[in-house]
Amino acid sequence: MKPAGYNEFRTRGRFDFPIEFHHVDCHHPRFHMPYHWHIEYEIVYVLHGGLTLSLNEDTVQARAGDIIFIRDGIVHGGAPLDQETVYECIVFDMKKLLHGSQCTGERVSKILEHELLINKYIPGETHDVPQMIAALFTAMKGAREGYELIVTGMLYSFIGAVLQHRLCHAPNAALRESSRRRVMQLKKTFQLIDDAYDQPLTLGDLAAAAGLTPNYFCRFFQKITNRSPIDYLNHYRIEAACIRLAHSGESITEIALATGFNDISYFIKTFRKYKGISPLKYQKANSA
């Protein structure tokens, strides 16, 4: 049993309605969002508390009512401010959504081609956009008859408001290319962690995946994720262990070995570090 992949190539929603909804609180297995990317766009709406997200090489700090827009291909991940934080996400295929429309115009085409970038962070008091997003998420969450039409219309309204209120900007070509190269290097390390976190990975392995020396790689990785590479790897392993503890019925020893920990005592110590309780207590509290 593996967690959802870092490189998330999978169908969102239905073929005829390519939109997916997630309500995330402290009980959700991805409450602490692991770094990943996908080919769809994503809107994150913070309901309570706060959320810090890294988007490629930028960091966004959002509070209740704020909106984070993540375009396709962006490596993103982060952490909630506290255990009371609640946020929701809609992941959608904008190209499929707008396919065949005759009224989207040249500016929407520029958004799809990344010649015009929607702002990553939209504060909660920005014009009428938060009200649109609240209505969009309410319709998606309720999934009542006809909600597909409402959701699609609200996404069109959101894009229209972004253009009307100029909540977008042209990319800096030089910075964009430089950032693209660095992020592509980091993507290779995240992919290795996703594929082989259950194996005895070393700092040298992670650095080699990115094509960097260990010293430079550590500084670069820390800058992007605010964690050391080994700290991130161990945190990822513990999150994978949490999924197995809640759903697999395996023993603590089996789960430790399956998630890359060959020393059971170290697994228990590391689990306590990140979760504040023992694996056994977590299993008893969360098993289905």
pLDDT digits (tens, 9 = 90+) for 12-48: 667 678 899 999 998 887 888 888 888 889 999 999 9
pLDDT of 47 reads 96
pLDDT of 101 reads 60
Please report the domains of the chain, with CATH numbers, ordered by start residue. 19-169 (2.60.120.280), 174-286 (1.10.10.60)
pLDDT of 178 reads 65
* Three-state secondary structure readout of the chain: CCCCCCECCCCCCECCECEEEEEECCCCCCCCCCCEECCCEEEEEEEECEEEEEECCEEEEEECCCEEEECCCCCEEEEECCCCCEEEEEEECHHHHHCCCCCCHHHHHHHHCCCCEECCEECCCCCCHHHHHHHHHHHHHHCCCCHHHHHHHHHHHHHHHHHHCCCEECCCHHHHHHHHHHHHHHHHHHHHHHHHCCCCCCHHHHHHHHCCCHHHHHHHHHHHHCCCHHHHHHHHHHHHHHHHHHHCCCCHHHHHHHCCCCCHHHHHHHHHHHHCCCHHHHHHHHCC
98 has a pLDDT exceeding 90: no
* Dihedral angle computed from the Cα positions of residues 140, 108, 77 and 10, in that order, rounded to the nearest 10 degrees: 60
pLDDT of 39 reads 80
Average pLDDT over residues 152-173: 88
Residue 170: which pLDDT band, with cuts at 50, 70 and 90?
confident
56 has a pLDDT exceeding 80: yes
Decide which of 85 and 248 is more confident.
85
Most confident of 99-103, 168-172, 182-186: 168-172
Residue 70: which pLDDT band, with cuts at 50, 70 and 90?
very high
pLDDT of 176 reads 61
pLDDT of 191 reads 86
- The region of weakest confidence among 13-17, 39-43, 164-168, 260-264 is 13-17
- Phi-psi region at 49: left, alpha or beta (left = phi > 0; alpha = psi -120 to 50): left
- Per residue in 101-148, pLDDT (tens digit) is 656 667 777 887 788 899 999 998 888 899 999 999 999 999 999 999
Average pLDDT taken over every residue of the chain: 87
CA distance 241 to 259: 6
Q: How far apart are the first and last CA of the chain?
A: 15
CA distance 203 to 112: 37
